[in-house]
Amino acid sequence: MKYSIFSLARAALSGHKSWTRAWRDPAPKSRYDVVIIGGGGHGLATAYFLANEYGIRNVAVLEKGWIGSGNAGRNTTIIRSNYGLPGNTGFYELSMKLWERMEQDLNYNTMVSQRGIINLYHSDAQRDAFARRGNTMRINGIDAELLDAVQIRKELPFLNYDNARFPIMGGLLQRRAGTARHDAVVWGYARAANEGGVDIIQNCEVTGFVRDANGKVTGVETSRGRIGAGKVGMAVAGSSSRVAAMAGLRLPIESHVLQAFVSEAIKPLIPGVITFGAGHFYVSQSDKGGLVFGGDLDGYNSYAQRGNLPVMEDVCEGGMAIMPMIGRVRMLRQWGGIMDMSMDGSPIIDKSPVDGLYLNAGWCYGGFKATPASGLVFAHLLARDEAHPEAALFRLDRFRRGAMIDEKGQGAQPNLH
Amino acid sequence: MRIACPFCGERENGEFTYLGDASPKRPNFAVDGGESPERVEDAFYDYVYLRDNVAGVMREYWYHGGGCRSWLVAERNTVTHEFISVTAAPGAGAASAVRAGE
């Protein structure tokens, strides 16, 4: 069913009882051309692009719980393409362009809202670094504007400009950045993939790989039985090491917990996304009115999906430093998600050393904004057995080759990226 | 999480800094020992980049910067955040706490 103002009006006349389910709930078949492990945004986007761009429709997405129950439901919904290094710049801009047409492509309201992101700077050195990043973006066709404090003050009059240690001197603005509705992204891709013929199989945990005599992966063992596959793609960020271990692989990844927070709902206050450049704090306002904010990783390996108090304190201190009035707002909820922290802070989209098994991993805490491009380039890799041009640098062997994409310049210490 | 430092007692985890998995050991090759460059490269690649990323009990380094400034080795469950043991790290000014074999 195509969603439109007319379908809404028709359903309204029948008391909204005529809506049908948005995707089927099939039993797994015995074999698929491609099996994707992980029914999050990335896995479902991959299936959507396989069916709609690459004509591979005999595809299953296997999800341990319900779709979108992992990091797709635990992020802070920010979309942006303000990256400075080769590899990242073009990839995230590809993603931004896909966000801009997503609602038309999927016929689904994913609430993409391009309200802009401002990265504040607090020193001459940081201004120079942001000017360089902005220039890198602009020569790659991405919008960026370097604002001074007077210009920022017009847009964000409520910030503390005279903090003695970290005065706000200006900011780098990307107007096309913004937020999107995370659940709607998952549901939109699920519905569109389903229409392309993809089987979305929930409550189906992968427990092992089926290998032939040469070691090639030919299927997966699951809690709902054995499923054969021409190719298997992993899109299970947060648990990549655990799934890869079933195929005997060790990855350059550590799993870490990242917390995020939302306040009680207040009237419209924050126009876009704001990031603090002297600590790690970022904030935006959801359409419901809550302030959505976050900061650093807790810093220790974790699979627990919950964090600890010192980081909550640190994040709130960052908020108080740039925006003292945030102290009057009560925190409503807090949660933690498990991040695939790679050794250089950038993702891995590549064939694995095991024949028939493909990796989409290492998203650190930038996975949400990458959802559409991640799906497109991973589908390209699965369909053609070669890297998409915009993902050609996200190789697994780049660590051995010394070809890291280390946007933050922290080296092989994942809890610092 | 609260961490029971063997020198300071139980303290909140904000006093501590995390390094990570204590199991990777820095490769130690003799200079001109006849090792092939590939083998040396493999060993360092493994040490610097690859991790077991344990889901369960893991031995890991913590630094008590907000207290006694000792390096500690903790056994902690990464799924539940439960600490099983915390001891002084070998060579951290606590020779008597050196574990056998290290």
pLDDT at A146: 98
Domain count for chain A: 2
Q: Which residue among B17, B55, B81 sits closest to A242, beta carbon to beta carbon?
A: B55
Among B51, B61, B62, most A C-beta atoms within 10 A, so best to mutate, is B51
Indicate yes or no: CB of A250 within 8 angstroms of CB of B48. no
The pLDDT value given to residue B30? 83
Say if residue A281 is in the same domain as residue A310: yes
Task: Read off the tokens for A414.
Answer: 């994942």
Buried b (16+ CB within 10 A) or exposed e, B45-71: beebbbbebbbeebebbbbbebebebb
As a whole number of angstroms, the distance between CA A97 and CA A79 comes to 11
Chain B interface with A: residues with Cβ < 8 Å: 1, 12-14, 17-18, 20-21, 41, 45, 48-55, 58, 60, 76, 78-81
Within a domain: residue A53? yes
Q: Please give the DSSP secondary-structure letter assigned to residue A279.
A: T
Q: What are the domain boundaries of chain B?
A: 2-23+35-96
Chain B residue numbers touching A412 (CB-CB < 8 A): 48-49
Q: How far apart are CA A363 and CA A354, in angstroms?
A: 21
Which tens digits make up the pLDDT trace of A33-53?
A: 999 999 999 999 999 999 999
Determine the distance from the C-alpha atom of residue B84 to the mean position of all C-alpha atoms in its chain, rounded to a whole number: 14
Same domain? For A71 and A171 the reply is no
CB neighbourhood size of A205 (10 A): 14
What is the model's pLDDT at position A214? 96
Strands A290-301 and A281-285: antiparallel
Total Cβ atoms within 10 A of residue A209:
23
ipTM comes to: 0.91
Using CA coordinates, name the residue in chain B closest to A299. Answer: B18
The CATH fold assigned to B2-23+35-96 is Folate-binding fold (3.30.2270)
Q: Considering only CA atoms, which of A73, A248, A371, A369 is closest in space to residue A360?
A: A371
**Has residue A14 been placed in a domain?**
no
Q: What are phi and psi of A337, to 5 degrees?
A: -125, 155
**A283 and A195 within one domain:** no
Taking 90 as the threshold, does the pLDDT of residue A266 lie above it? Answer: yes
If asked whether residues A194 and A169 sit together in one domain, one would say no
Identify whether A15 is part of a domain.
Answer: no
Q: Are residues A185 and A172 in the same domain?
A: no
Instruction: Give A84 to chain B, closest Cα distance, Å.
Output: 23
Residue from A243, A300, A399, A401 to probe the interface with B (highest B Cβ count within 10 Å): A300
Element (H, E) at A283: strand A281-285
Q: Using the beta-carbon criterion (under 8 Å), do B60 and A301 form an inter-chain contact?
A: yes
Average confidence (pLDDT) over A350-376: 97
Please give the pLDDT value at position B98: 43
User: Looking at chain A, which residue has its C-alpha nearest residue B40?
Assistant: A400
Final residue in a domain of this structure, among A342, A365, A400: A342
User: Residue A192 belongs to a domain with what CATH number?
Assistant: 3.50.50.60
- The A-side interface with B (CB below 8 A) comprises 241-242, 250-255, 299-304, 306, 308-310, 313, 343, 399-400, 412-415
Same domain, A71 and A195: yes
Q: Could you tell me whether strands A117-121 and A273-276 are parallel, antiparallel, or unpaired per DSSP bridges?
A: parallel
- Domain closes at, from A322, A342, A362: A342
Tokens of A235: 């899109």
> Which CATH number characterizes residue A165's domain?
3.30.9.10
- What digits encode the pLDDT tens for the residues A223-264? 999 999 999 999 999 999 999 999 999 999 999 999 999 999
Would A13 be classed as within a structural domain? no
SS (H, E, C) A206-223: EEEEEECCCCCEEEEEEC
Query: What's the pLDDT band for B101 if we cut at 50, 70, 90?
Result: very low
Mean pLDDT computed over every residue of chain A: 97
Residue A176, token pair as written in the block:
């096309």
pLDDT in tens, A131-169: 999 999 999 999 999 999 999 999 999 999 999 999 999
Task: Specify the pTM.
Answer: 0.95
Q: Please indicate whether, in this complex, the C-beta atoms of A250 and B81 are within 8 angstroms of each other.
A: no
The CA-atom distances, in angstroms, between A91 and each of A70, A132, A370, A391 are: 23, 19, 8, 6
Query: How confident is residue B92, by pLDDT bands cut at 50, 70 and 90?
Result: low
What does the pLDDT read at residue B91? 66
A31 and A127 fall within a common domain: no
In terms of residue numbers, what domain contains A157?
Answer: 117-177+254-342
Is B53–A251 a contact, with Cβ atoms under 8 angstroms apart?
A: yes
**Mind telling me how many Å the CA of B65 is from chain A's nearest CA?**
14
Summarised one tens digit per residue, pLDDT across range B26-69 is: 998 888 888 898 999 999 999 999 999 999 999 999 999 999 99
Contacts of A295 in chain B (CB under 8 A): none
- A311 shares its domain with A411: no
Q: Residue B28: which residues within 8 A CB-CB, separation 6 or more?
A: none
- Tell me if A301 and B54 make a contact (CB, 8 A cut-off): yes
Residues A248, A213 within the same domain:
yes
